[in-house]
Chain A
Amino acid sequence: DTEVTQTPKHLVMGMTNKKSLKCEQHMGHRAMYWYKQKAKKPPELMFVYSYEKLSINESVPSRFSPECPNSSLLNLHLHALQPEDSALYLCASSLWTGNQPQHFGDGTRLSIL
């Protein structure tokens, strides 16, 4: 069991749908992250939130919209996705101090029809 909870575990959506991925942690971590992982590839960083503010956006298309409503929650809003966006989306969190390990959830497996 991980301390970072992601819902839903699986999501299938059409290209015109709007959906959201949710991530929750109660470890008091103030840094939260979204990663994307394609099949048989390593995870790639998408966004970093620090103290509920977006601090890093790795040139992610605007059809992905992150949101951090409070220190325990991280959302990823999805709209008008493309089939190539099908992937495993991973959330992670860490203490703010540098070099603290990141704790990952088990991800949401997203399929775009």
Chain B
Amino acid sequence: DAKTTQPNSMESNEEEPVHLPCNHSTISGTDYIHWYRQLPSQGPEYVIHGLTSNVNNRMASLAIAEDRKSSTLILHRATLRDAAVYYCILPMNNNAGNMLTFGGGTRLMVKP
């Protein structure tokens, strides 16, 4: 399985942009890149996913490097509610199911 590497923690100021990096140097051509986050006392929440092109949705943007060996989740304007653990995952899909293997993630702290 392709693995991901993320910094253990990052800090941001409220209302400033946040760039959360993820390295996935062993990614294969068909691996999608998914991001989830987990707020305190809640289950994980889907944020965004992409394959090759940059993606935007109401929560965040995903910038994917041209060689696909890294990606960056961008929160355009951090709020206190964005304090969470952010997971970068390359799901494994086979005939049996869609499997998420969570790594350690990045704990994002947002300062007022």
Contact = CB atoms under 8 A, between A and B. Distances in A.
A74 interface: no
Contacts of B46: 101-103
B98 A2 contact: no
Given A92-B43, A105-B43, A99 B99 contact: no
A42 B42 contact: no
Interface in A76-113: 90, 92, 94, 98-107
A40 to B, nearest CB: 10
Given A42-B103, A106-B41, A101 B49 contact: yes
Interface stretch (B12-20, B62-70, B72-80, B89-97): B89-97
B11 interface: no
A107 B43 contact: yes
A48 B99 contact: yes
Contacts of B95: 55
Contacts of A14: none
B102 A43 contact: yes
A55 B100 contact: no
B34, B49, B91, B100: residue with the most chain A Cβ atoms closer than 10 Å: B100
B44 A45 contact: no
A103 to B, nearest CB: 7
Contacts of A55: 95-97
A73 B93 CA distance: 23
A21 interface: no
Interface of A: 2, 4, 31, 33, 42-45, 48, 50, 55-56, 90, 92, 94, 98-107
Which 5 A/B pairs are nearest by Cβ-Cβ distance? A104-B43, A42-B102, A48-B97, A101-B46, A98-B93
20 contacts: A31-B97, A33-B97, A42-B103, A42-B105, A45-B101, A48-B97, A48-B98, A50-B97, A55-B97, A98-B91, A98-B98, A99-B49, A100-B98, A102-B44, A102-B98, A103-B46, A104-B44, A105-B43, A106-B41, A106-B42
